[in-house]
Amino acid sequence: MGTSEPLAAASAGTPIGRRVVLGMLGLGAVGIVAGGRVQDALNRFLQPIEAADPTGLSQLIPAAGGFRIYSITGSLPFERPSDYTLTIDGMVQNRLTLSLADLKSLPATSLVKDFQCVTGWRVPMVHWTGVQLSALLDQAGVLAGGNALTFDSFDGAYTESLTISQARRPDVLVAYEMLGAPVTRQHGGPVRMYVAPMYGYKSCKWLSRITVVNKVVPGYWENLGYDVDGWVGKSNGRSDAPTA
Amino acid sequence: MAEATLPRPDPVPAPSRSRFADPGSDNDGDSGGGGGAGRWLLRFDKAERIVHWVNAVLFGVMLVTAGILYLPPLSAAVGRRQLVVTIHVYAGLLLPFPLLVGIAGRTWGRRLRADLRRLNRWIPEDRVWFRRRGWRPERVTGLKQGKFNAGQKLNAAFTGGAILVMLATGSIMHWYKPWPLSWRTGATFVHDWIAIALFFTITGHMLFAFSDRESLDSMLRGPISRKWAKQRAPRWLAEETATPKPD
């Protein structure tokens, strides 16, 4: 009855399969403990290659530099630069509706800073141009009790937050240029936030609205477990070098 | 070592013997036994085939979602990052279960357990298979291989180890709070590179399967011809033939 396997024949030989599995577990453990250092070395080695690679093929290599495109809705949001408006409302004296041309007519600030993602990748020396958020807040006139900001994306789903004092830092921009050109659709164009001292998820892409509120309302990824005060190197259990 | 490579005459299988007379855990008697009794051997029973194809679907889901999470153009085209992450994580957590359920059954797991034992055990012929680069079958004609060749054994061991390592590193990546940053980076590093390796081994596995339609067919239906076994797995054929018929 049953398929009585010829046990003796099946058991003959050396149990190399088991050794391969155990060896992989050992190597995997070593990789978890020491792989970070290997990855850093690879990053340093690959970043110049990636920067000079017009094909983008080097992005297929783990740890190579370059932006990864994270979006939370179905297709990439799109808005024509000519139709674009940014609304600033909530606890303000003057509600503002600004076109891209309005933003560009304001004093521009340019920064060259690293972009650090909370998932580990970092793009060095990214060129950003835009309007300091503090200037827009001054123009709108924040009312007493307006202690925080909520950022909305025109993807219809993404939100972010900052306290007013964080938002007034000089390295927090409403950016319309990135990498030396208008912000592309993939990177959150025509207009996105750039919050230099914080992890990438704090820099809301496809920015459509900034609302002054009385207290911080955690944003999209923050509701999914990321820190609200997303300082690079001092939050989310990470120790990356600061970006600002 | 070289002696083992010499082709030896195969024992002639008793023509009337059929594994399909066996009323074991599976129900495959109709798929090959009936007409040509003795021409067919059961290669994979129903439990093994179910485990294989559930694994195949899960691996497919893992690779597709991994590509969406990992390759910038695909990420941009699909978006919905949170949903894709959720699918990837849960498919990954499910991955060990088909095999565990498959081997757990006293009756239904018997053949799967025996085959895992065969995959684990390497015989001298397996070394010869690598030396002759046996992935081209004509180079190992006459080699007295068991049910699985050395390439299949290595692939099985690598895939088994990879499932465990991916489970561990993926868990560190997803439930990252308790771990030091260097471990998170290390886990990501290991996860990325094994994913790339798996992409190639799975692609290779599929190419080999399509290059041997009879073998692929046996993973779909169960039986395989004695002719195939004589050419590709003569030691297995001898094992099967030599087994005293159980009562």
Q: Chain B within 8 Å of A156 (Cβ-Cβ)?
A: no
Question: What is the chain A residue with the closest CA to B82?
Answer: A72
Question: What is the chain A residue with the closest CA to B121?
Answer: A15
Q: Please identify which residue in the block is written with the tokens 């129900």.
A: B27
Q: What is the mean pLDDT of residues A178-207?
A: 94
Residues 6+ positions from A118 with CB-CB distance below 8 Å? A199, A200, A201, A221, A226, A230, A236, A238
pLDDT of B23: 40
Q: Chain B within 8 Å of A241 (Cβ-Cβ)?
A: no
Does A69 contact B81 at a Cβ distance shorter than 8 Å?
no
Question: What percentage of chain B exceeds 90 in pLDDT?
Answer: 63
Chain A hits for B189, CB-CB cut-off 8 Å, are 31, 35-36, 38-39, 62-63
- pLDDT tens digits, B194-229: 999 999 999 999 999 999 999 999 999 999 999 999
| Min Cα separation A225/chain B (Å) | 9
Burial class of B56 by CB neighbour count within 10 A (0 to 12, 13 to 18, 19+): middle
| Min Cα separation B114/chain A (Å) | 7
Chain A hits for B84, CB-CB cut-off 8 Å, are none
- pLDDT tens digits, A90-120: 999 999 999 999 999 999 999 999 999 998 8
pLDDT band at residue A186 using 50, 70 and 90 as cut-offs: confident
Chain B hits for A59, CB-CB cut-off 8 Å, are 71-72
Query: How many Å apart are CA B247 and CA B240, to the nearest integer?
Result: 15
Tokens of A84: 């674009």
SS in 3 state form for B119-172?
A: HHEECHHHHHHHHCCCCCHHHHCCCCCCCCCHHHHHHHHHHHHHHHHHHHHHHH
pLDDT of B20: 43
pLDDT of B241: 84
State yes or no: pLDDT of A40 exceeds 80: no
Q: Which of B110, B122, B194 sits opposite A2 (nearest CB)?
A: B110
Burial class of B16 by CB neighbour count within 10 A (0 to 12, 13 to 18, 19+): exposed
Q: Which of residues 201-240 of A touch B (CB under 8 A)?
A: 224-225, 237-240
Does B157 contact A37 at a Cβ distance shorter than 8 Å?
no
3-state secondary structure of A61: coil
Chain A hits for B188, CB-CB cut-off 8 Å, are 35, 39, 62, 119-120
CA angle, B125 then B126 then B131, to 5° = 95
Q: Which of A20, A35, A60 sits opposite B157 (nearest CB)?
A: A20
| Min Cα separation A139/chain B (Å) | 35
Tokens of A214: 């009385």
Does A17 contact B239 at a Cβ distance shorter than 8 Å?
no
Amino acid residing at A126: V
State yes or no: pLDDT of B11 exceeds 60: no
More confident: A143 or A77: A143
pLDDT of A60: 64
Q: What is the mean pLDDT of residues A60-88?
A: 80
| Min Cα separation A134/chain B (Å) | 31
- pLDDT tens digits, B19-33: 444 444 444 444 433
Which of A20, A55, A76 is the mutation pick for testing B, counting most B CBs within 10 A?
A20
Q: What is the mean pLDDT of residues B66-83?
A: 88
Q: What is the mean pLDDT of residues A7-25?
A: 81
Does A24 contact B189 at a Cβ distance shorter than 8 Å?
no
